[in-house]
Chain A
């Protein structure tokens, strides 16, 4: 009997190291491409992630201390803003776009619907200073943080000195955002042979591969490119997308292809949030495409789906829901008193 006890202890050591591995701050899921983000310039650290997380949830980033990142990027909705077609900021001002969901950002090479931002670190500057979002300046954010004893302690813990700087604020927010990896949906379990699709989900997956996957490419469910997906121009918003950045006519009405991961929770859809349901989105792709000059090459041929096929496809899209991401306590609200 005693000999057996020794063996159990050995196995226990093995388990411990497995747990330690799972506790990595960031890991690229199996079969995924290499992340684009250069971690050598901003290597992840628990105290920096915590600081970034607190900043993410703190309205101190806005001019009148009312709007935090999480106002438009709620964790329970895959970090987007549900129920609002267009995101709103300080003083109830309304922007022109639907806030994108935040996940798997380490793999993205550009940010915003029009790709105006070239690096994750610099992304937060845009909403902080936009008049219809936080209406603040990074200079003033840094001043406010420098005056806060709570933040002084956090900066000290993270950077070894208590001074808040623009670089540190931005890099800390990046650190938190980099940890937002969603790779644990039913779809992922199927790909990793740990589960199997229902017959309907499987049919839907086949339809997806045939009609959707050239833009919404696995495993990120976006090819990260800019495409015109045939939406009519909104006459009030007059948002021509990427052309604003490149000033090139070929980019007119192009927007970044969004991920479909957690699509169940990221409604409304499209850059201006015009569709409330997945059904409306599918109807657009089968019957609503407008053939503008810059329409995506991949949409030139009409997509034909009957009602049953749309249901099958929707069933598959729901397998992209990742509850361990949506309800991960590590991503939730935190302030510096905690």
Chain B
């Protein structure tokens, strides 16, 4: 359902603002796929957790069997508080997937790592590990889209927009639940655009 486009790991890109940027790691969870018609739920994917990892471009293609009569698709970016408090889980939720904080419990909803000429850090590195599920640091984001083509929905993820909205000169390192992490999660949500 979601196809990644041209973005490749470890390639150098120039942003609109002339910053040159390289992504070395990009992984995030999406969950709780719900299909609606006129605001009413017509279908909910069971056990709806997906880990998208740029290392494996196939992970950006999600197959869901759902009824045809829907007009909107809703899903979350991240892992909800129920799953965050449920103990050890397997599959893509296994803590060996590198998406779980060990020193303070909770899933990392999104990992984005790389270098940018805008970052005045060692080796120009930035690290965004966005997570947190407890009030007031709940970084789970919910998205809803109108469905036009019901067979094949493509959602663009415009990382360009993330880097134009986040000042990576000062805001380059995030690795714990906090209000700032919530803000980053809110920005991250806005880069998902239906094609």
CA distance A215 to B96 in the complex (A): 37
| Residues B86 and A116 in contact, CB atoms below 8 Å apart | no
| Residues A125 and B102 in contact, CB atoms below 8 Å apart | yes
Please choose the segment from A148-156, A163-171, A231-239 that sits at the chain B interface, where 4 or more of its residues have CB less than 8 A away. A163-171
Known contacts A41-B86, A120-B87, A170 near B104 by CB under 8 Å: no
CA distance A121 to B84 in the complex (A): 12
> Chain B contacts of A128 at CB under 8 A?
102
| Residues A122 and B88 in contact, CB atoms below 8 Å apart | yes
In chain A, positions 182-224 with a C-beta closer than 8 Å to chain B are: none
| Residues B87 and A125 in contact, CB atoms below 8 Å apart | no
> Chain A contacts of B103 at CB under 8 A?
116, 126, 129-130
B93-112 CB contact bits vs A (8 Å, 1 = yes)?
01111101011111000000
> Chain A contacts of B137 at CB under 8 A?
247
| Residues A139 and B98 in contact, CB atoms below 8 Å apart | yes
B85 sits at the interface (CB 8 A)? yes
> Chain A contacts of B106 at CB under 8 A?
118
CA distance A165 to B89 in the complex (A): 10
Known contacts A117-B105, A118-B105, A41 near B87 by CB under 8 Å: yes
Known contacts A166-B88, A167-B90, A174-B88, A119 near B105 by CB under 8 Å: yes
Q: Which of B88, B89, B100 is the most central at the interface, judged by chain A CB atoms within 10 Å of its CB?
A: B88
| Residues B94 and A166 in contact, CB atoms below 8 Å apart | yes
Known contacts A138-B96, A165-B96, A166-B95, A129 near B88 by CB under 8 Å: no
> Chain A contacts of B178 at CB under 8 A?
247
A142 sits at the interface (CB 8 A)? yes
Q: Which residue of A lies closest to B97 (CB)?
A: A166
> Chain B contacts of A125 at CB under 8 A?
95, 100, 102
> Chain A contacts of B86 at CB under 8 A?
38, 41, 119
In chain A, positions 89-121 with a C-beta closer than 8 Å to chain B are: 116-121
Main secondary structure on chain A at its contact with chain B? helix
> Chain B contacts of A247 at CB under 8 A?
137, 178
Q: Which residue of A lies closest to B87 (CB)?
A: A121
| Residues A166 and B84 in contact, CB atoms below 8 Å apart | no
CA distance A129 to B100 in the complex (A): 12
In chain B, positions 119-160 with a C-beta closer than 8 Å to chain A are: 137
> Chain A contacts of B98 at CB under 8 A?
139
Min C-beta distance of B179 to chain A, whole Å: 9
A298 sits at the interface (CB 8 A)? no
Which range holds the interface residue count of chain A?
20 to 34
A282-299 CB contact bits vs B (8 Å, 1 = yes)?
000000000000000000
| Residues B95 and A170 in contact, CB atoms below 8 Å apart | yes
CA distance A247 to B88 in the complex (A): 26
| Residues B94 and A119 in contact, CB atoms below 8 Å apart | no
> Chain B contacts of A28 at CB under 8 A?
none
Q: Which residue of A lies closest to B81 (CB)?
A: A118
| Residues B85 and A118 in contact, CB atoms below 8 Å apart | yes
Known contacts A166-B88, A174-B88, A116 near B95 by CB under 8 Å: no
> Chain A contacts of B94 at CB under 8 A?
165-167
| Residues A139 and B96 in contact, CB atoms below 8 Å apart | yes
CA distance A244 to B104 in the complex (A): 10
CA distance A113 to B178 in the complex (A): 21
Min C-beta distance of A42 to chain B, whole Å: 7
A245 sits at the interface (CB 8 A)? yes
> Chain A contacts of B95 at CB under 8 A?
122, 125, 138, 166-167, 170
Min C-beta distance of B124 to chain A, whole Å: 26
| Residues A142 and B105 in contact, CB atoms below 8 Å apart | no
CA distance A116 to B105 in the complex (A): 6
Min C-beta distance of B177 to chain A, whole Å: 8
| Residues B104 and A122 in contact, CB atoms below 8 Å apart | no
> Chain B contacts of A170 at CB under 8 A?
87-88, 95
CA distance A122 to B98 in the complex (A): 14
Min C-beta distance of A173 to chain B, whole Å: 9
| Residues A119 and B87 in contact, CB atoms below 8 Å apart | yes
> Chain A contacts of B90 at CB under 8 A?
165-168
Min C-beta distance of B39 to chain A, whole Å: 33
| Residues B102 and A129 in contact, CB atoms below 8 Å apart | yes
22 A-B pairs with C-beta separation under 8 A:
A116-B105, A118-B84, A118-B85, A119-B85, A119-B86, A119-B87, A120-B87, A122-B88, A125-B102, A128-B102, A129-B103, A130-B102, A165-B94, A165-B96, A166-B94, A167-B88, A167-B89, A167-B94, A170-B87, A170-B88, A174-B88, A247-B137
Which A residues have a C-beta under 8 Å from some C-beta of B? 38, 41-42, 116-122, 125-126, 128-130, 138-139, 142, 165-168, 170-171, 174, 244-245, 247
Given contacts A139-B98, A167-B88, 4 further A-B contacts (CB under 8 A): A38-B86, A117-B105, A118-B105, A170-B88
Nearest 6 Cβ contacts at the A-B interface: A121-B87, A121-B88, A166-B96, A170-B88, A167-B90, A125-B102
